[in-house]
């Protein structure tokens, strides 16, 4: 009786170990489903943190992160904030790779209101510990400046939208002239990847709208790919750390499962 109970417990433990291994493997690759009415399904894209050997550890393309930050700063920041990101995060491991001095210079380009020694409000440069400011004082001002639409904060946009990075990338390159017979609402733009194919946001990207410091051609496709890469990092700044840890856990579970299996064979081989 003790032999049977012990064997059953050992088998259940082995099955549980393999089950945990499968769950961890799925957790590293699971992505959001997509459902957006009559919108076109997002185009799949090979992202640096998902494909190839780098996909195992979720490694970001550092050049793309820095170019993407430039796109955000010079294009997107006019309407969208990054309220969950502090300037100092730009120098964090796994991030765009800016130095402390570069982060300080970037932060100083923005100002904030503080009280001076007399209690009067004055504008001073922001510090690295400050967060990226919103371009608008409140939602009412934001809607008034954007034809009634409210520009969302972009900190976690890649995680907040079904389709993730593929959806945001497709949306940015999906602006077209409306087909014949399609009736656009006032102040709306045709985009086949947006719900109902009408979006209030004007096309944000144009060829050579900015000049990359590394000389990369600023095509619409490249601009979109770079800013989406940057927004993936803002949505999950610990992605590389998480995936490395997950990879180590999987290796550990494989070794443990193999050890349990051979231990089982050795202990119970003479009992069959």
Kindly report the average pLDDT of the chain as a whole number: 85
Residue 141 lies in a domain: no
Average pLDDT over residues 139-152: 92
Over residues 187-195, the mean pLDDT reads 94
pLDDT given at position 49: 87
In a domain, 70, yes or no: no
| φ, ψ (nearest 5 deg) of residue 74 | -95, -15
Asked if residue 203 has pLDDT above 70, the reply is yes
Residue 256 lies inside a defined structural domain of this protein: yes
Q: Once rounded to an integer, what is the mean pLDDT over residues 84-112?
A: 95
Q: Which residue has the higher pLDDT, 247 or 172?
A: 172
The percentage of the chain sitting over the pLDDT mark of 90, rounded to a whole number, equals 59
Structural domain contains residue 188: no
As for how many domains the chain has, the answer is 1
Judge whether 170 lies within some domain.
Answer: no
Residue 193 has pLDDT above 90, yes or no: yes
Asked if residue 23 is part of any domain, the answer here is yes
Residue 267 lies in a domain: yes
18 occurs within a structural domain: yes
Residue-range definition of the domain harbouring residue 14: 1-30+251-272
Range with lowest mean pLDDT among 35-44, 57-66, 147-156: 35-44
pLDDT at 128: 97
Q: What is the mean pLDDT of residues 124-133?
A: 96
């Amino acid at each position: 009786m003790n032999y049977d109970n012990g064997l059953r417990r050992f088998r259940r433990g082995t099955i549980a170990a393999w089950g945990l291994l499968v769950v961890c493997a799925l957790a590293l690759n699971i992505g959001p489903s997509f459902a957006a009415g009559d919108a076109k399904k997002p185009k799949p894209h090979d992202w640096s943190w998902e494909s190839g050997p780098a996909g195992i550890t979720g490694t970001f393309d550092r050049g793309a992160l820095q170019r993407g930050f430039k796109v955000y700063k010079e294009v997107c920041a006019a309407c969208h904030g990054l309220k969950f990101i502090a300037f100092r995060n730009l120098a964090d491991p796994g991030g765009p790779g800016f130095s402390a001095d570069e982060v300080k210079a970037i932060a100083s380009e923005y100002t904030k209101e503080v009280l001076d020694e007399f209690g009067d409000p004055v504008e001073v440069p922001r510090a690295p510990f400050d967060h990226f400011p919103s371009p608008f004082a409140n939602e009412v001002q934001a809607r008034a400046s954007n034809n009634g639409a409210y520009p969302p904060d972009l900190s976690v946009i890649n995680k907040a939208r079904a389709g993730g990075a593929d959806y945001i990338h497709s949306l940015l390159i999906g602006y077209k002239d409306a087909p014949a017979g399609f009736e656009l609402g006032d102040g709306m733009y045709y985009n086949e990847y947006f719900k109902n194919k009408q979006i209030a946001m004007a096309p944000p990207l144009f060829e050579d709208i900015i000049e990359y410091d590394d000389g990369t051609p600023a095509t619409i496709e490249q601009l979109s790919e770079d800013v989406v890469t940057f927004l993936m990092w803002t949505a999950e700044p610990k992605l590389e750390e998480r995936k490395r840890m997950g990879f180590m856990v999987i290796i550990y579970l494989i070794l443990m499962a193999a050890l349990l299996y051979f231990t089982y064979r050795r202990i119970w081989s003479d009992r069959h």
